[in-house]
Amino acid sequence: MARLKDLYKSKMVPELTGEFGYKNPMAVPQMEKVIISMGVGRATQDKKFLESAKKDLMMITGQMPVVCKAKKSVSNFKLREGMETGLKVTVRGVRMYEFMDRLINLAIPRVRDFRGLDPNSFDGRGNYSMGLAEQSVFPEINTAKMEFQQGMNITFVTTAKTDREARKLLQLFGMPFRGSATMEQQA
């Protein structure tokens, strides 16, 4: 079993139940899925950028990414409808917990000039989105063989009804939000 899943079941469920007063254990918020996406706009000029990003995203997540195509033509960007411009991966279950563990404990501490994650990036329905400027913060990526830096967006989808519940859930997983107690203890 993944370490974070075990932590969720043993420690986080009782703590969330006590704080928010859930009557049913199934009402306790939990992680549903994590979506990792990369916009590779340079792929319109050269396909090697898309292939390189696909290889990196596959190494990070352990799954084959889905190629996203442009829905509209935009002449200013030399973009035609149907061109391949991005990649996305949705991880669930054990892979999701393992990805979150690597992100929280290995990748985020390697980000340069890190001051904590923005605590206001919730969408109002209990989902959290964040971005990374480069994929090289993950230990799976060999920086010597890396052809170009590519940013990525990461969205955490939870079953929480409110942002407050989702923030507490992610804090218990170890997400270093700006101004939270975990960041102040580390400083």
State pLDDT tens for residues 76-88.
676 677 777 789 9
User: Percent of the chain, pLDDT > 90?
Assistant: 31
Name the β-bridge partners of 151: none
Mean pLDDT by 10 residues, the chain (187 residues): 85 91 90 90 71 86 86 71 83 91 87 86 90 82 74 92 92 85 44
The separation between the first and the last C-alpha atoms of the chain, rounded to the nearest angstrom, is 31
* Residues 119, 102 contacting (CB under 8 angstroms): no
E strands, the chain, in order: 31-39, 66-69, 84-91, 128-132, 152-158
* Predicted TM-score of the model (pTM): 0.84
Dist CA 11 CA 49 (whole Å): 43
Instruction: Give the model's pLDDT for residue 44.
Output: 62
Domain ranges across the chain: 3-22+29-38+89-176
Is residue 87 classed as helix, strand or coil in its secondary structure?
strand
**In CATH, which superfamily holds the domain spanning 3-22+29-38+89-176?**
Ribosomal protein L5 (3.30.1440.10)
- Containing 95, the helix (H) or strand (E) segment is helix 93-102
